[in-house]
Structure 1
């Protein structure tokens, strides 16, 4: 397995990956039908066009060359927001418990620290996704707030947690 920056040539594979994981779990903020209407390989080509505001890393299976994980860190370039970013991650369910999420987090944190020199990263996670919460805590994220409604899944509002990691002490 390798972790690397997303490249434009990965757009078809990434679209296939997003289709695959969008039906595997309710932990994502994207429904299958939204994926079809909001994304396509051509749009995805531009994912890393603006390296100052958004960066995506992919995990790739060495044997199949399939994308098996995606992490993205995003920041605003406005002065009042320049010291923080937002983080999102997904991993193909077939590859859970293989440290892929850990490696993706490490890549994003390294980028945020070394390239952007930011001071903190936020993320949102469903309150009942204890597996993800434990992973984020392992990497120094702490729960800093409750979100009464994070996602609406099958017509039901689901609460979430807001987590934060300080990058500089």
Structure 2
């Protein structure tokens, strides 16, 4: 568990997800997917129940190369990061993460603290040697954040997203953990 002072003076707590967070996480996801078009799913498309989320949290907690962390301000869930490492020996050292923050908390460096936590965790595991991500190519704010934390551009995939009748490319980025 880590605590951070945000720009607005509030205290942010980041901790690993717990099984009892499952319902709260589903409610959070149902809210955050309405706030942005930058996710791989939209409103009503997540399709996971609280029970399935609890099973996922339990599986992640038992894995050496997976991580799910939540950000809280007081008792309010304001952000989440999920890192999924590879399941086979040849790719266990690498994985991809997703990150979300409630829109009202954008710009307070919650995403920065999440990614720093992830990088430190990866170093501590001594298993994770590469962290990958993909981001919509027009999400300039996120790309700027990832670059500031030393993620490097690794390629573009055309037409990765199809939202409201329009295609969007994705940028793939990564950071090596040594």
Whether TM exceeds 0.5 here: the answer is yes
In 1, Cα distance between equivalents of 2:101 and 2:107: 10
In 2, Cα distance between equivalents of 1:112 and 1:82: 12
**Matching residue of 1:15:** 26
In 2, Cα distance between equivalents of 1:121 and 1:150: 20
- Higher mean alpha-carbon deviation, 136-145 vs 108-117, is at 108-117
Gaps of 5+ in 2: 1-11
Q: Is the 8 A contact 1:151 1:158 kept in 2?
A: yes
Give 1:101 shift: 0.5
2:49 to 40, 44, 47: 40
After superposition, residues 37-116 of structure 1 pair within 5 angstroms as 38-50=47-59, 51-62=63-74, 65-116=75-126
**Matching residue of 2:17:** 6
How has the CA–CA distance of structure 1 residues 34 and 43 changed in structure 2, closer, same or farther, with 3 Å as cutoff?
A: same
**Matching residue of 2:131:** 121
In 2, Cα distance between equivalents of 1:157 and 1:30: 14
In 2, Cα distance between equivalents of 1:34 and 1:80: 32
Q: Is the 8 A contact 2:19 2:54 kept in 1?
A: yes
Q: Secondary structure in 2 aligned to 1:34? A: coil
Gaps of 5+ in 1: none
Normalising by structure 1, we get a TM-score of 0.92
**Matching residue of 2:39:** 28
**Matching residue of 1:160:** 170
Q: Is the 8 A contact 1:121 1:164 kept in 2?
A: yes
After superposition, residues 125-144 of structure 1 pair within 5 angstroms as 125-144=135-154
Give 1:77 shift: 2.8
Q: State the superposition RMSD in angstroms.
A: 1.2
Q: Is the 8 A contact 2:30 2:44 kept in 1?
A: no
Q: Deviations over 1:65-91 (max 9, x none)?
A: 111000011111312212211111011
